[in-house]
Amino acid sequence: MLKRFVVALMTVVAGSVGANAADMAVKARPAAVAAVPYFSWTGFYAGLAVGYHDGSITQAGCTGLCPVDPKMSGAVLAVSGGADYQFANNIVIGAFATIPITRLKGNVDLAPAAPGIVFTVRPQFVALAGVRLGYAVGNFLPFVLGGVGYADIEAKSPFGATPSNSHVGATVGAGLEYRIAQHWSVDFRYAYMSLPKKTYDFGGGLEQFGEDSHNYKFGAYYRF
């Protein structure tokens, strides 16, 4: 009788110890760590951008009544897109293009020398294309850029002459892009562009005009 009691007691104790050990083993497991999403910058993207163009018209060959520090500045809306490739070491290279869909207008006023005489300078078509080089840091992509700017410019004289010309110049800049989701990103870019002087004939002698500008752009893109 006593022997049976001892055996039964030992069985209960052994079962209790085994259950506690199992609980301890379960509790000892490390908590699962949530996976951090990985976004590759490789692929195509396209979107819309708003920006501000701050330009100074450069000139040469003007005699007599000449504009003093003429400007062409204002806000623009543009379509923008490109393609990137990310290497294993997080370096990103890409190509991009931006085309404004709204046009600026610069009024070159000859006052006070000739009040009321205003020449109108207006781009008919503008495009910017180039390459960028960046380094991916998580969802951030800081980068530098370089490329070519193209502009068809029309200059209208109050006396009837409307000469036009095409300008091709260099641009350099930098920016920062942020990946907000798998297929969406936003960025801010700054670019300095210099369009060389070209000859315009207003009927009173040949004059040369170009432009140096600072360009600021904020864009939102869908990444395919």
pLDDT tens across 1-23, in order? Answer: 544 544 443 454 445 545 454 45
Question: Rounded distance, CA 220 to CA 224, Å?
Answer: 13
Q: Residue 2: its pLDDT value, please?
A: 42
Q: Which CATH number describes the domain made up of 43-223?
A: 2.40.160.20
Listed by start position, the domains of the chain span 43-223
Of 150, 153, 105, the closest CA to residue 129 belongs to 150
Structure-token pair, residue 215:
């360009």
Q: Quick one: pLDDT at residue 84?
A: 98
d(CA 180, CA 123): 34
Can you tell me the distance from the alpha carbon of 14 to that of 202, in angstroms, rounded to the nearest whole number? 107
Whole-structure pTM value: 0.78
DSSP-based three-state secondary structure for 119: strand
What SS3 state is found at 58? strand
Q: 10-residue block means of pLDDT along the chain (224 residues)?
A: 46 49 50 63 97 91 73 93 97 97 79 69 92 97 97 86 93 97 96 94 82 96 97
- CB-based burial, 34-68: b 16+ in 10 Å, e otherwise: eeeeebebeeebebebebebebbbebeeeeeeebe
Tell me, rounded to whole angstroms, the distance of Cα 132 from its chain centroid: 10
Alpha-carbon gap, residue 21 to 17, rounded angstroms: 6
| 8 Å CB contact between 149 and 195 | yes
